[in-house]
């Protein structure tokens, strides 16, 4: 009888305490952020350039071919823009996407996005053109991320496109 009472008392205490608190989702360490996006050549006049975005807001651009500005340029993003970019990475669930998206076609450009954040790093190679069902196999969230990287850095100031 004593065991039954002790068991019920323990059970009552355990259930009264509720579920253990869940650990908070850690805030990303923005100082570790490096986002690189490279656009590669195609058979034609596709812009060829590379963007690097750092957690402190620094942007480095290198224009290679078929862009208005060849060579290196720099810019700076605000802290809000860096947070906006990280939110887009999270929305895309970037680290869970496939490492490669390709279509069975020739002479198309590739977009290569590499992200390092905290202790994780991932590279995604996307061969094809967003917005075209016939020559794109990437999910829309990846296309949206590529577009966000271009828009947030205002890459058109250098590429003209």
> In this predicted structure, what is the pLDDT of residue 13?
46
> Which numeric CATH code is attached to 29-159?
3.30.1560.10
User: Could you state, in order of their start, the residue ranges of all structural domains in the chain?
Assistant: 29-159
Give the model confidence (pLDDT) of 52-91 as tens digits. Answer: 999 999 999 999 999 999 999 999 999 999 999 999 999 9
Spatial contact of 83 and 58, defined as CB atoms under 8 Å apart: no
Q: Average model confidence (pLDDT) for the chain?
A: 89
pTM over 0.85: no
Distance between CA 4 and CA 13 in Å, rounded? Answer: 14
Shortest CA distance to 114 belongs to which of 41, 60, 38?
38
């Amino acid at each position: 009888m004593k065991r039954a009472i002790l068991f019920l008392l323990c059970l009552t205490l355990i259930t009264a305490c509720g579920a253990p608190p869940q650990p908070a989702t850690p805030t990303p360490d923005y100082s570790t952020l490096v986002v690189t996006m490279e656009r590669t050549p195609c058979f034609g006049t596709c812009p060829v350039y590379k963007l690097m975005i750092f957690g402190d807001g620094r942007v480095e651009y290198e224009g290679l071919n078929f862009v208005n500005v060849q060579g290196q340029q720099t810019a700076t993003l605000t802290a809000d823009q860096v947070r906006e970019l990280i939110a887009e990475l999270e929305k895309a669930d970037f680290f869970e996407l496939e490492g490669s998206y390709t279509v069975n076609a020739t002479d198309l450009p590739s977009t290569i996005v590499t992200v390092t954040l905290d202790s994780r790093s991932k590279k995604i190679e996307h061969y094809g053109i967003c917005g075209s069902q016939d020559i794109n196999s990437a999910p829309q969230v990846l296309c949206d991320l590529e577009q966000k990287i271009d828009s947030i850095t205002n890459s058109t100031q250098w590429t003209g496109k």
